């Protein structure tokens, strides 16, 4: 499966910084044969769309409303994202689950809406440190995946991307071993395949959490790790490109 590397800029960026960062990314794309995307803050979608013109780097957002249109102050719809050329929307990132109170049900609604609206949702799942230490990783991640599978039609399963991001690995410099991550990815793959064998085998399952050039290769060679969702390292063009190169082999 062709690998997918996605940068999640989170709440970082400025007009000047974006110009420099995407300029750097643009100039280093030769020899990269994986799929590449950046998920940028809403206000910069127009700017980044134009900075990425005529490149193969795809644009995405970091969230999307579960509603189609109407009186939802502060929310952003699938149609608006499509207006700016977005193909992806991250849904259910742990930072939104934690700071914006997004439940499994809200996340499932957003995934459904993103698909209905023509976007590819990048569904984020992952356990806290406490849950990991209690040996509950598979249960927690399994519940997060099942909450979404419950609302999808069989044919919709192939339209999602999943990102396994252990919360204790995000921004901490700590990571599971590639083998530990692969165990969770394989469990996610099983859930997807048991729902729809053909579609489930085609879903890309990304690893996220302190992925950087020095550790990416180990993750990317695992059978069920189909790419990465990159936070901090996506803010440096050289690091982002280095990970993309490793995913291009
Ligand atoms: P870091 O790569 O900074 O750990 O962030 C991972 C992440 O949360 C991507 O969505």
- Ligand 1: does its nearest atom lie under 6 Å from the Cβ of 206? no
Q: How many domains does the chain have?
A: 1
Which residues of 10-85 form beta strands (DSSP E)?
A: 35-39, 58-61
- Residue 199, classed as helix, strand or coil, is helix
Are the C-beta atoms of residues 161 and 121 closer than 8 Å to each other? yes
- Ligand 1: does its nearest atom lie under 6 Å from the Cβ of 170? yes
Q: What are phi and psi of 204, to 5 degrees?
A: -85, 130
Q: Give the long-range contacts of residues 117-120, CB within 8 A, separation 24 or more.
A: 117/64, 117/68, 117/77, 117/78, 117/79, 117/81, 117/82, 118/78, 118/82, 119/64, 119/78, 119/81, 119/82, 119/86, 119/87, 119/88, 119/89, 120/87, 120/88, 120/89, 120/159, 120/160, 120/161
The string of pLDDT tens digits covering residues 124-163 is 999 999 999 999 999 999 999 999 999 999 999 999 999 9
**Mutate which of 125, 170, 210, 233 to test ligand 1's pocket (most atoms within 8 Å of Cβ)?**
170
Is this prediction's pTM over 0.85?
yes
Distance of alpha carbon 185 from alpha carbon 222, whole angstroms: 9
The string of pLDDT tens digits covering residues 204-244 is 999 999 999 999 999 999 999 999 999 999 999 999 999 99
- Ligand 1: does its nearest atom lie under 6 Å from the Cβ of 208? yes
Report the pLDDT value the prediction gives residue 141, as an integer from 0 to 100: 98
For residue 124, report the distance from its CA to the centre of ligand 1, in Å. Answer: 11
- Ligand 1: does its nearest atom lie under 6 Å from the Cβ of 241? no
- Ligand 1: does its nearest atom lie under 6 Å from the Cβ of 8? yes
Q: Which atom of ligand 1 is nearest to the CA of 234?
A: 2
Distance of alpha carbon 162 from alpha carbon 229, whole angstroms: 10
- What number of other Cβ atoms are within 10 A of residue 103's Cβ? 11
Q: Which atom of ligand 1 is nearest to the CA of 171?
A: 4
pLDDT at 249 over 90: no
Residue 213's domain is classified under what CATH number? 3.20.20.70
Q: Which atom of ligand 1 is nearest to the CA of 93?
A: 10
Distance of alpha carbon 13 from alpha carbon 39, whole angstroms: 11
The string of pLDDT tens digits covering residues 61-100 is 999 999 999 999 999 999 999 999 999 999 999 999 999 9
Please give the average per-residue pLDDT across 121-126, as a whole number.
98
Domain that holds residue 159: 4-247
């Amino acid at each position: 499966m062709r690998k997918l590397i996605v940068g999640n800029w989170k709440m970082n960026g400025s007009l000047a910084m974006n110009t420099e960062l995407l300029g750097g990314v643009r100039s280093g794309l030769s020899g990269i044969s994986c799929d590449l995307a950046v998920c940028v803050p809403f206000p910069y979608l127009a700017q980044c769309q134009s900075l990425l013109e005529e490149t193969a780097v795809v644009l995405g957002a970091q969230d999307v409303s579960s509603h189609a249109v109407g009186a939802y102050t502060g929310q952003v719809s699938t149609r608006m994202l499509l207006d700016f050329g977005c193909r992806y929307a991250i849904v259910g990132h742990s930072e939104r689950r934690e700071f914006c109170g997004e439940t499994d049900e809200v996340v499932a609604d957003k995934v459904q809406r993103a698909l209905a609206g023509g976007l590819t949702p990048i569904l984020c799942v992952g356990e806290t440190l406490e849950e990991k230490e209690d040996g509950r990783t598979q249960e927690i991640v399994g519940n997060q995946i099942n909450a979404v599978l419950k609302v999808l039609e069989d044919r919709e399963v192939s339209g999602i991307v999943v990102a396994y991001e252990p919360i204790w690995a995000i921004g901490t410099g700590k990571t599971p071993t590639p083998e530990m991550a692969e165990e969770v990815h394989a469990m996610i793959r099983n859930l997807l395949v048991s729902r729809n064998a053909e579609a489930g085998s085609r879903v890309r399952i990304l690893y996220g959490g302190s992925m950087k050039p020095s550790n990416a290769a180990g993750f990317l060679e695992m059978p069920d790790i189909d790419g990465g969702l990159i936070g901090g390292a996506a803010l440096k063009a050289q690091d982002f490109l280095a990970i993309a190169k490793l995913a291009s082999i």
